[in-house]
Structures are given as structure tokens and as C-alpha cells.
Amino acid sequence: MTDDDPYRWLEDVGGDAALAWVRERNTEAFAELTRSDTFAALRDEIREVLDADDRIPYPVTRGGYLYNFWRDTAHPRGLWRRTTLASYREAAPDWEIVLDVDALAAREDENWVWHGAQVLRPDHRLALVELSRGGADAGVIREFDLVAKAFVDDGFLLPEAKSMVGWIDEDRIYVGTDFGEGSLTSSGYPRVVREWRRGTPLEDAVTVFEGEPDDVSVGAYHDPTEGFARDFVHRSVDFYRDETYLRTPTGLVRLDVPDDAYTSVHREWLLIATRSEWVVGEDTYPAGALLAADFDAFLAGRRELTVLFEPDERTSLAGHAWTRNHLIVATLQDVKSRLTVRTPTARGWTSAPLADLPDTGSADIFDTNPDVDDEYYLNVSGYLQPASLYRGDIGAEPEILRQARAFFPAEGLAVSQHFAVSADGTRVPYFVIGKKEPGPTLLYGYGGFEVALTPGYSATVGRAWLARGGTYVVANIRGGGEYGPKWHQAALRENRLRAYEDFAAVAGDLVDRGVTTPAMLGIEGGSNGGLLTGVMLTRYPELFGAVVSSVPLLDMRRYHQLLAGASWIAEYGDPDDPAAWASISEYSPYQNVHPGRPYPPVFITTSTRDDRVHPGHARKMVARLREFGYDVRYYENIEGGHGGAADNEQAAHRSALIYEFLWRTLKPAPAGAE
């Protein structure tokens, strides 16, 4: 295929002709998939999960309150609310409504979707609230008074854009937004960051830093920690290379760390997470290590680094979070969570287990309060283990604050981990959840951006798939972060095919083990995972009985020219570089659709309001598949952003469509059939 793309017109997101085509495809999909009692049951059961009153209301500590954002049947757009810890411990907490997004949307006649809030520390009286129209990444930012529980008249206000904001103090904020021509990067994010003072026009805000047009983004933030107040400027050169500067009265001072390392500062400590080998004097630190240094000493040129974590072949760094006096380090050992407390003392750093927690698949640090104390909140779950929310203080046994109920029966189901052997001999882990009998199987994967897929409870998967007799599989392929930076980098750019070979190896291993057959093996993925399933369709069609691709990248010839696509060049490569395109063209799904191939039935979904991955990817792929007469159906939600849905009703409808398609397509063969 050349650049003469006959379906380029479908990239016109809101164009009349394109939307008419979308509505026709939606009508066809609805006619096929929504008429049965099975669809209605799936939709209602998923909606019940999403709206359940006994879900865990996950809290975030802000001052003396625990804040929570909550959606249910009565409040589909959601409530921003708060309570005290004492009240939260009760079976029915006394929630104080801070902002009712449904009421706001009705009052202002806007389809507002909550995008979060930044609260001014340390008094937690003011917030910068971000609201999106229809769920897009771009949002409107408005100042909110948490005492009056109202938007501030003549307060800080930014019109719709992909903005960056952050408090400096009550009267100043950092802001990066669409200031006009040249103020955004080629990825559509802020290229300029300014300091904006209350009561002055936005155009008079003082420029703090300007990046380059081809950067991903720039930003700035203020750390108000008493005794350690500092300001930092952050420049994302590409998705994995950054520059961090300390803002001083005499100018910006760059932190002398590798540009692919992650850095963070807490009080006197600088943390450095390496993504490549780093040689410092006579010492060499491996990729995936976590290092600590005294911030002021490091800035002065001393390189006294303490290794807080060093990876091995089975163990990787998953994250870390500070309390007031301690550092919680999360690691993965063969994709299973481990948590350790590291504590700086006069004699060096000590190490201890976080607490006597149950042996589980996944334990995630949900929140800490590093300004004040050593409190932490921890979410613990597994594929068949409903979530438990723990609250603890370092050094004491944590309490279980909330336990989610089981939304599907787990009797007769089991979880097992296996390893497939990829084309180059690499062992690739995957989890199998379900019964031992072979049957319809859904294989899920992602394999990109160093994102690790860890075990966790999904009531939707449980109800819509496992409880109905299906087997669910999660593949931890290269490109992800399950084994640290090297696992990710092994499938970067020109090595991308390794991720797809890994996924194909897992599919083949499932058949070899007798878990399923190709005809009963479906696959699902979204975003980069949608690209994964698109590649599986065009390169390995014989392995699968059904393919679901959601909010996907599919036209890799033009991905960097569509919306935020330019920010992912570090992941995939630049298609305008002939050498890079030579490798990308081997797998780009849109360019590799050909007639007469044994493609299984396909379902592609996206959102009109997705301003991250352009809906044109999905639209054009469907048009090309239809051109050659393949079995394909399409659903595009008019709202929803990159998540595909703006509220629980839309999310339940979309999920039910997908599961209805899978159950219809992956039916076991009749007894006696070959």
C-alpha cells in the first residue's frame, strides 16, 4: 500500500461523511449483537458490578479528610466527596458532597467527565479541578474552594486544552497550555511553561521554560515541604528521555542524571531509578536499579549513591512511595508483588518487610501522606481474590478497612502460571484462570511502554467470562515492564516483532497444553494492546477464532501524524525514517491487510472523543477489512475518550457488546465434530 490512502477521509473525526459511516457501522453491530437475551443479561450484570454500592470507595488523604470520587446508578457522572477516617471505618461512612458532577453538567448543559483535582498543600483549601467534555484528554481547568464547596469567582480558569497546571502558592500557579501558535509540541502537549499570578491576564504570565517543538511536553511543579521547598522544571524529550531542572533565583540547574532515568525528590533525598546501565566513577549500576543520594550533596557534585534495589533475572522494580520517614519499595518476582520498607538512619538505610500481608498476586500502594506521617493505604487482590484495602502505619500491623465482595463464584476455578518459549528462546510468563476442562478461552495482552500486567480481581471478566465457563489468560510479553527496563527494551522499535512472537508463543502453548483450540481462542487488547491484536490478526490469523481490538493504533504509517502519536516515536520508531519504516511496515496492521487470508471474525471498537489514539485508526481498518469481504463489525462510542466510555452505562454497554461477540464466535464445536 502506498501513501495514497483511499480511506483517509475517515480521519475527519467530526466530519459529516465520516460520522454517517460510523452510525451505519454502529447500527449494523447493534442489530447483530444487542437483540438477544444474552446481551441484555451481560449488560445488566456488568452494570450491576460498576454501580454496586458495596464497591470499595478508594480514598485519598487531603488534610484532615479522605476524598473519594464515586459513580453509581443515581450519579453516572459522579460525586467528589469526603469523610473522616473515623467515619470511613464505619460500615456506612458519612460522606460530605464536595462537587456533584451530574448536577454541574445539567446546570451548565455540558457533558462533563471528571478528570481529577490538584489540591494546594499544605492547607488543602483550594483545588484546580479538571473537567473534560465527553471524556477527551483535553480538559477545562477551574479553581475550586474546598471550604465553600464552590468554584472560585474570577479564579484561575483555563479553556479546553491538554494543559499542565500546578500550584506554587495561593496566588500563583505553573501553567502549560495552548497559548497560541508555537506553544504546543508536535504531540499536542505544552511546549511552554509559565508562572501565572492571580488577577493577571494569562497572556502576561511569565515564561519559565520553553522546550523544543519535537519534545513530548514540558512542565513545572512546586514542592512546598516545610524546610525543603523547591521548584522543578521537567522536559520530556521523548517518551523515555527526560531532563529535570531545579529552579533557583539565578536560573535553572539541571540534575546530572542519565536522561532515561526516573528521578524524584523527598525532603533531603534524591531517588534515581535507572533504565540503562550507569557508570559513576568506578561504580556501575545496572538498568532497573533504585538509587538514593543526599539531594544537596548530589547537586554540589558528590556522587555517594546507595543501592536500595538491584534487579535480577526474576525480580524487577515496580514502584516506590514515601511516607514521612520511610520509603516503601514495590517489586515484582515473576510478576508477583513484594513490598519492602527502606528507612534512612544515621548508620545507613535499613530494610524490613512492609507487614505480614497475605501471599497474593498483587499488592499496590494506593496512597501515602508524606507531608505528615507514616500512614499508607494498600490494595491487595488476585485473579480470584476480591480486593482488600489495608491502612497501616510503618512498623505496626495494618488493619483491613474494606473488603470487596465476590462478584462471581470462584468454586472450581484455579490460577496457574506457565511459561511459553518464544521464537528466540525467551521464556514468556502467562497466567491461566479458569476450569481445567478445555473450552472457550480469552487471551489478553498489552506488551508496551514498560507497563506490567499484574494479577488483579476483575468482577467484569469474572461475571461476563469466567462464571459462564470461559478461561481467561493474561500474557506478560516483552515490551511490558514485568521484568524491568530490559524486558521492555527487548521489544522496542526495530525489535517490535518480539512482542508479537511472544504472544503467538503463548497462544500456541495454550493449544499444546490442551487449554483450548485455535477455534475457541479469542484475543483482546486496547490501545497499544489493540495494535497487538491487530498484528495477530494479520500475521497469525490461523492461531485464533476471534479478535477484539479496542481504541487501537493500526495505521503505523501515519500514527505519528495523528493526535498524540508523535509522543510514541521512542516506542515504535519514526515511519518517516526509511530504516524505521522497513521494520514497522512488517507488522503495521492497516498496511498488511490482504485478500484471501484466513482471518477470524473481528470486532473493533473506539471512541469519537478519543483525542489520544485517533479514531481514524479503527475506522480505516474496518473499511479495509470490509473492502476485502472479511467478517468484521465496528462500534464507536460518541463519548468516552481513550477509555472508550464516559460513564458506567456506556462502559457496560461496550463491554457487553464485546463479550456477546466473543461468546457467539467461540462456541465449542458440537460433540463428534472435527
455-498 pLDDT, tens digit each: 999 999 999 999 999 999 999 999 999 999 999 999 999 999 99
C-alpha torsion angle, residues 480, 484, 487, 492 (rounded to 10): 70
Phi, psi of 66, rounded to the nearest 5 degrees: -105, 120
pLDDT at position 644 over 80: no
Q: Decide: 270 and 256 in contact? Cβ < 8 Å.
A: no
Note whether residue 443 is domain-resident: yes
Q: What is the pLDDT of residue 659?
A: 98
Distance CA 113, CA 640 (A): 9
Q: What is the pLDDT of residue 361?
A: 80
Q: Pick from 4, 162, 11, 188: which is nearest to 606 by CA? A: 11
Q: Pick from 263, 205, 268: which is nearest to 233 by CA? A: 263
pLDDT tier at 643, thresholds 50, 70, 90: low
For residue 488, what is its C-alpha cell? 521492555
DSSP single-letter state for residue 135 = T
Kindly state the percentage of the chain with pLDDT values over 70. Answer: 97
pLDDT tens digits for range 410-460: 999 999 999 999 999 999 999 999 998 999 999 999 999 999 999 999 999
Q: What is the pLDDT of residue 645?
A: 59
Note whether residue 547 is domain-resident: yes
Tell me the Ramachandran region of residue 251: left when phi exceeds 0, alpha when psi lies from -120 to 50, beta otherwise.
left
- The SS3 call for residue 567 is helix
* C-alpha torsion sign, points 199, 201, 205, 211: positive
Q: What is the pLDDT of residue 648?
A: 85
pLDDT at position 2 over 50: no
Strands 242-248 and 269-273: unpaired
- Between the ranges 103-112, 360-369, 634-643, where is the mean pLDDT highest? 103-112
What is the residue-averaged pLDDT of the chain?
95
Q: Pick from 664, 666, 639: which is nearest to 651 by CA? A: 639
Q: How many domains does the chain have?
A: 1
Within 573-647, residue ranges assigned H as helices are 578-584, 616-627
Angle subtended by helix axes 648-665 and 37-51, to nearest 10: 140
Distance CA 58, CA 67 (A): 8
For residue 304, what is its C-alpha cell? 555517594
Distance CA 133, CA 118 (A): 19
For residue 235, what is its C-alpha cell? 522536559
The number of C-alpha atoms within 13 Å of 92 and in the hemisphere containing its C-beta is 1
Please report, for the domain that includes residue 637, its CATH number. 3.40.50.1820
Distance CA 668, CA 522 (A): 12
Active site residue: 614, 642, 653, 655, which one?
642
CA distances from 151 to 18, 102, 104 (A): 38, 15, 11
Q: pTM of the predicted model, to two decimals?
A: 0.93
> How much is the average pLDDT of 159-179?
97
Q: What is the pLDDT of residue 1?
A: 39
For residue 407, what is its C-alpha cell? 462478584
Distance CA 197, CA 203 (A): 11
- The SS3 call for residue 340 is strand
Angle subtended by helix axes 616-627 and 16-33, to nearest 10: 70
Altogether, the residues listed in the chain come to a count of: 674
Q: Decide: 272 and 287 in contact? Cβ < 8 Å.
A: no
Note whether residue 33 is domain-resident: yes
Within 109-236, residue ranges assigned H as helices are none
Note whether residue 603 is domain-resident: yes
Give kind and range of the element (H or E) at residue 28: helix 16-33
Distance CA 546, CA 518 (A): 9
Active site residue 642: yes
Phi, psi of 141, rounded to the nearest 5 degrees: -115, 130
- The SS3 call for residue 441 is strand
pLDDT at position 301 over 50: yes
Q: What is the pLDDT of residue 393?
A: 96
For residue 504, what is its C-alpha cell? 503467538
For residue 358, what is its C-alpha cell? 497475605
For residue 489, what is its C-alpha cell? 527494551
Distance CA 555, CA 620 (A): 8
pLDDT tier at 674, thresholds 50, 70, 90: very low
Q: Decide: 667 and 661 in contact? Cβ < 8 Å.
A: no
- Give the 3-state secondary structure of 299-326: HCCCCCCEEEECCCCCEEEEEEEECCCC
Note whether residue 328 is domain-resident: no
pLDDT tens digits for range 213-266: 999 999 999 999 999 999 999 999 999 999 999 999 999 999 999 999 999 999
Distance CA 550, CA 532 (A): 10
Distance CA 158, CA 650 (A): 28
Tell me the Ramachandran region of residue 308: left when phi exceeds 0, alpha when psi lies from -120 to 50, beta otherwise.
alpha
> How much is the average pLDDT of 621-649?
85
Note whether residue 225 is domain-resident: no
Active site residue 527: yes
Give kind and range of the element (H or E) at residue 60: strand 60-62
Note whether residue 474 is domain-resident: yes
Note whether residue 125 is domain-resident: no
CA distances from 279 to 161, 217, 259 (A): 41, 28, 13
β-partners of residue 251 are: 248
> How much is the average pLDDT of 173-185?
97
Q: What is the residue-wise DSSP string for 208-266?
A: EEE--TTSSEEEEEEE--TT--EEEEEEESSSS-EEEEEEETTEEEE--S-TTSEEEEE
Residues 6+ apart with CB under 8 A from 41: none
**The domain containing residue 432 runs over which residues?**
28-48+412-665
CA distances from 526 to 234, 446, 604, 607, 645 (A): 29, 7, 10, 12, 13
Active site residue: 236, 422, 458, 527, which one?
527
| Residue listed under C-alpha cell 518517516 | 576
CA distances from 598 to 27, 123, 167, 591, 595 (A): 26, 62, 56, 17, 9
